[in-house]
Structure 1
């Protein structure tokens, strides 16, 4: 990535990241970042060429982006000249904003320059009609995440904010009432992008995405970063402080000035969604204050633990957290039920949150046992005042820790008196003066397994599942995509040695072939290269022996569409969400 260094720790960027009202009309003015954690100066290119419908709001959008740049230390160059798209011209920019572009706006050479820019770590921000652009350029469709299908009349709708940790949405409440022109998209981007906000289709007329209607998302793509928001049709959007802050967060993330977990996320259930604390219990002194969907620690040493359920087998725990300054807290896993917070310390494992302690006791460490990869941690960590996301992934007695989507620790329990595979989870309130906040605690379980493996659905294009045809077990049974139904034909176990198994047999390239279109089938496991698969950061799954990708065939993906081997191109039919 092109991420420039920022101070790892500093004062709270309070004015920016305090909770905003639910309605945009009452939102506070956009403030510049606190000087103590200000971004380094950088440059953004705003591109607004149109070859189709031209939005009257483009000029207002450029003016708003210039204002945001002046207040937040980035320079905006605005152009409608496609000749700007050469490798040399794009190189100085940390992000390129496609502001309501329409139609075919770049020629082949210019497209190649944009592709190279992204592959070199550049950032893309798409606003509104950026999804109504370059329909015949597959790379761009993947970059934008989804393309325009249709829209109803401009009207007010309820936006559901799904991620309140990303800088583009952390200032919003759980819902956001605003008026705009709400696009329907040709495909649902949820399987290939991380959805930040979606539309409640019951709150307005004309939505046609069957109740799952993403409207803003982010994704890592081909070495770069891509953020898209469907808002921005109306002139008034660009004087709306909440929408302007939304754009600022998208630009900052795409430019690498802040981090977030932008991996696709499906299958999690909430343990704390901000609306209540059922199932949770305080152990020890101090506690947590609940306000605006956020738990904030005070006093201690104590722990708030989820007593309603003990987690066994393999699971992934995700939660969002924010420190106010040099504060201390942690996330506990694998401890027995107890009202004594020291029981979690003595019998479980703590994932530390503390900016300035020793390496085995600082942010990202398994407290007292193993330091994080400090370089990876520092590259992914947002400073005090900004939100971070942890994923604690437990597979057997292995604990993998991801910070804002980047792996920073990999620890294996060898203590026979402890077990990661059985126990409760909790969050720590460390003591007076330590103020750490938490949002959106969620978990996904895969129902057991052994060290080095995880099980569940493999979801592909259109949210359909990788499926064994007819749940048959004979060697040579075909593999297809099918509406997810929870059956064993769709329950895949992924192991560290690269095999994908279902119904006790392996995902296999027929005959060990390498040609485009080679059939993918079920076969008795034999450890050969035809049965090895390597998930990639861009969402593709590659067969190393052939160098080609798992691909849902054709261009119309219905139940029963066969899966085959194909040259990797990162299109939507080659993106898979793994358990």
Structure 2
């Protein structure tokens, strides 16, 4: 009987043991919080394109905070004044178009809210991903937002195609990605690039130089080519990984697989789940592969 009972018990408990090991080794999805809303963009469509595109490309679960306020000072009650808004998340995706914070008029009030928004990134080390208008958000005078981004930008010209060239082709974020030209897009200027930032791509855009005439008409006097950094990484406060791109105004661009591939890699890099060859770390590919 003893020789029969032992193999039977082993056979009974082995599946449970294997299941327990597999459960312990299971990779938890990256939890991302996507913040959208404000003026100038079709966030109703873009937020879903971003969520679906990221979740299809990596082991990520994206939660959304969306403001339907279409002004440049949208309200985000769960975020503004709440320094713990990022609790439980692995990365925050800032895509809000909020050059001014809602209902605030003084510089001191704006700075207090911006510092509260930055608290999870500054003190808790939660990575950040910043897309297009998220770079132009919170532009109070001497705003600490730019130090977090690693780059200060304050304006753009009319929409024209942008020729994107990857200048660091060995970064895991860009390795194997081909240079490309966008449709007509807004191209953000570079006022200042911080020493903590690392440019990954530059964009060239040719725009018409216009002159206003005394009679109110406008004359095109020539063309100008702007050459700005439009994709980069930053190490904020000595520890926090931050990925940003100024590209992504129009919905067609946001839905472009080349754009979604880039943003996915940037997010995986920011959270420490990107291999040197640009592929997701084990367990962080599509479907947890």
TM-score by length of 1: 0.35
Which residue number in structure 1 is paired with residue 76 of structure 2?
A: 82
Separation of aligned partners in 2, 1:230 and 1:142: 16
1:179-194 aligned within 5 A: 179-189=183-193, 191-194=195-198
Which residue number in structure 1 is paired with residue 28 of structure 2?
A: 40
Q: Are the equivalent residues in 2 in contact too, given 1:99–1:126 (CA < 8 A)?
A: yes
Which residue number in structure 2 is paired with residue 228 of structure 1?
A: 244
Query: What SS does the corresponding residue of 1:46 show, helix, strand or coil?
Result: strand
Which residue number in structure 1 is paired with residue 137 of structure 2?
A: 133
1:326-365 aligned within 5 A: none
TM-aligned CA deviation for residue 190 of structure 1: 6.4
Q: Are the equivalent residues in 1 in contact too, given 2:150–2:193 (CA < 8 A)?
A: yes
Which of 9, 32, 40 is residue 55 of structure 1 equivalent to?
40
Which residue number in structure 1 is paired with residue 121 of structure 2?
A: 118
- Structure 1 unaligned spans of 5+: 1-37, 260-320, 325-380, 387-579
TM-aligned CA deviation for residue 90 of structure 1: 0.9
Q: Are the equivalent residues in 1 in contact too, given 2:241–2:270 (CA < 8 A)?
A: yes
Query: What SS does the corresponding residue of 1:82 show, helix, strand or coil?
Result: coil
Q: Aligned pairs, how many?
A: 226
Query: What SS does the corresponding residue of 2:154 show, helix, strand or coil?
Result: strand
Which of 197, 201, 207 is residue 205 of structure 1 equivalent to?
207
Query: What SS does the corresponding residue of 1:225 show, helix, strand or coil?
Result: strand
Instruction: Work out whether 1:102 is the aligned partner of 2:88.
Output: no
Indicate how the Cα distance of structure 1 residues 121 and 258 shifts in structure 2: closer, same or farther if over 3 A, else same.
Answer: farther
Separation of aligned partners in 2, 1:109 and 1:323: 38
Q: Are the equivalent residues in 2 in contact too, given 1:169–1:196 (CA < 8 A)?
A: yes
Deviations 1:278-315 (A, max 9, x none): xxxxxxxxxxxxxxxxxxxxxxxxxxxxxxxxxxxxxx
Indicate how the Cα distance of structure 1 residues 158 and 78 shifts in structure 2: closer, same or farther if over 3 A, else same.
Answer: same
Deviations 1:449-473 (A, max 9, x none): xxxxxxxxxxxxxxxxxxxxxxxxx
Separation of aligned partners in 2, 1:168 and 1:66: 19
Q: Are the equivalent residues in 1 in contact too, given 2:129–2:267 (CA < 8 A)?
A: yes
Deviations 1:255-300 (A, max 9, x none): 33237xxxxxxxxxxxxxxxxxxxxxxxxxxxxxxxxxxxxxxxxx
Separation of aligned partners in 2, 1:323 and 1:169: 7
Larger Rg computed on CA atoms? 1
Separation of aligned partners in 2, 1:84 and 1:168: 32
Separation of aligned partners in 2, 1:244 and 1:66: 10
Separation of aligned partners in 2, 1:181 and 1:95: 26
TM-aligned CA deviation for residue 143 of structure 1: 1.4
Which residue number in structure 1 is paired with residue 154 of structure 2?
A: 149
Give the number of the structure with larger relative contact order, counting CA–CA contacts within 8 Å between residues 6 or more apart: 2
Separation of aligned partners in 2, 1:211 and 1:248: 27
TM-aligned CA deviation for residue 193 of structure 1: 1.0
Q: Are the equivalent residues in 2 in contact too, given 1:44–1:74 (CA < 8 A)?
A: yes
Q: Are the equivalent residues in 1 in contact too, given 2:147–2:194 (CA < 8 A)?
A: no
TM-aligned CA deviation for residue 221 of structure 1: 0.5
Higher helix share: 2
RMSD: 3.4
Which residue number in structure 2 is paired with residue 328 of structure 1?
A: none
Separation of aligned partners in 2, 1:43 and 1:129: 22
Separation of aligned partners in 1, 2:277 and 2:170: 9
Indicate how the Cα distance of structure 1 residues 164 and 61 shifts in structure 2: closer, same or farther if over 3 A, else same.
Answer: farther
Q: Are the equivalent residues in 1 in contact too, given 2:115–2:144 (CA < 8 A)?
A: no
TM-aligned CA deviation for residue 211 of structure 1: 6.0
- Structure 2 unaligned spans of 5+: 1-25, 68-74, 103-109, 210-222
Which of 86, 92, 117 is residue 88 of structure 2 equivalent to?
92
Indicate how the Cα distance of structure 1 residues 226 and 180 shifts in structure 2: closer, same or farther if over 3 A, else same.
Answer: farther
Indicate how the Cα distance of structure 1 residues 161 and 206 shifts in structure 2: closer, same or farther if over 3 A, else same.
Answer: farther
TM-aligned CA deviation for residue 215 of structure 1: 0.8
TM-aligned CA deviation for residue 109 of structure 1: 5.2
Indicate how the Cα distance of structure 1 residues 198 and 69 shifts in structure 2: closer, same or farther if over 3 A, else same.
Answer: closer
Which of 234, 242, 256 is residue 219 of structure 1 equivalent to?
234
Q: Are the equivalent residues in 1 in contact too, given 2:201–2:231 (CA < 8 A)?
A: yes
Which residue number in structure 2 is paired with residue 456 of structure 1?
A: none
TM-score by length of 2: 0.66
